[in-house]
């Protein structure tokens, strides 16, 4: 009897705790999207991080949740890419490839406020009076965007600006995150024209710092036949969803602040 009682008590406690754990599990259960595992099984599993996310499972989750606009894995095979698109309900013919695009034309054409002698890293240089360039929105030119690119799609040009190889670029966005001035964006490959300025200074101040900056004259806005450009806080901004590549904007820009990318597509 002395032995039986503890056994009964322990057994009862086990049942109670088991029921309680089952209740708690159901109470805090988070339903997992079955598409995540399916998408993950179609990805290469290399976890290279070239997509800009935490491995293949991170990309699978982001795709299922709609947190990324396209299948950014650069090494997934076309068949698997199409299967993933079907799971997500995406028409592959409607998915545009996006590539890193520079929205600054300054570089060596932009004046320096002071001579910088520190570590040649854009993020570190920005800590010193926002960087040495007179245009506080302009490219510093130390190539911090080059280093994180896993496919050598960026190099620094002679004009002190990054040059992007659109054939190598996968649109992973690592360079975009690395730029402290936020002058790299992901834009549709087939859209050839971009506003090469991100300064919100008034026109007169822009010209003092950089002769190829946007002075917000509005000529590009007026001539665009589809309304793809608008002025936003003293700088022209391109709406790539509307742009038809007509090129009329680049012809009327008085400071040559609009650039053209040869897409070869």
Q: Whole-model pTM? A: 0.73
According to the model, what pLDDT value does residue 264 have?
43
pLDDT over 70 percentage in the chain: 89
Asked if residue 107 has pLDDT above 50, the reply is: yes
What confidence tens digit (pLDDT) does each residue in 60-87 have? 888 888 887 677 777 778 788 888 888 8
What is the DSSP secondary structure assignment for residue 174, as one 8-state letter? H
Is residue 104 a contact partner of residue 197, using CB atoms and an 8 Å limit?
yes
Binned at pLDDT 50, 70 and 90, residue 259 comes out as: very high
According to the model, what pLDDT value does residue 24 have?
59
Count of helix runs (H) and strand runs (E) in the chain: 9, 8
Binned at pLDDT 50, 70 and 90, residue 27 comes out as: low
What confidence tens digit (pLDDT) does each residue in 228-241 have? 999 999 999 999 99
Helices 78-88 and 55-65, axial angle in degrees (round to 10): 40
More confident position, 265 or 204: 204
Asked if residue 265 has pLDDT above 50, the reply is: no
Asked if residue 1 has pLDDT above 60, the reply is: no
Task: For each of the domains in the chain, give its residue range(s) and CATH number, in order of start.
Answer: 34-94 (1.10.15.40), 98-260 (3.30.70.20)
More confident position, 7 or 242: 242
Measure the CA–CA gap between 199 and 75, rounded to whole angstroms: 36
């Amino acid at each position: 009897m002395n032995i039986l009682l503890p056994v009964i008590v322990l057994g009862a406690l086990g049942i109670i705790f088991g029921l309680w754990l089952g209740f708690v599990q159901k109470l805090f259960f988070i339903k997992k999207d079955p598409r995540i595992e399916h998408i993950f099984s179609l990805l290469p599993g290399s976890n290279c991080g070239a997509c800009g996310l935490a491995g293949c499972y991170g990309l699978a989750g982001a795709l299922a949740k709609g947190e990324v606009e396209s299948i950014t894995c650069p090494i997934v095979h076309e068949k698997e890419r199409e299967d993933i698109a079907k799971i997500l309900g995406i028409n592959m013919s409607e998915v545009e490839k996006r590539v890193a695009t520079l929205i600054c034309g300054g570089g060596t054409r932009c004046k320096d406020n002071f001579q910088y002698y520190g570590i040649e890293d854009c993020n570190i240089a920005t800590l010193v009076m926002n960087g040495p360039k007179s245009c506080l929105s302009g490219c510093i030119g130390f190539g911090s965007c080059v280093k994180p690119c896993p496919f050598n799609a960026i190099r620094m040009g002679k004009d002190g600006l990054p040059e992007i190889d659109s054939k190598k670029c996968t649109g992973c966005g690592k360079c975009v995150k690395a730029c402290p001035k936020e002058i790299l964006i992901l834009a549709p490959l087939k859209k050839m024209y971009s506003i090469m300025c991100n300064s919100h200074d008034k026109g007169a101040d822009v010209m003092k710092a950089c002769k190829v900056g946007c002075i917000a004259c509005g000529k590009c806005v007026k001539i665009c036949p589809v309304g793809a450009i608008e002025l936003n806080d003293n700088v022209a901004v391109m709406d790539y969803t509307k742009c038809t590549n007509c090129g009329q904007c680049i012809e009327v820009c008085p400071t040559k602040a609009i650039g053209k990318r040869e897409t070869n597509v």
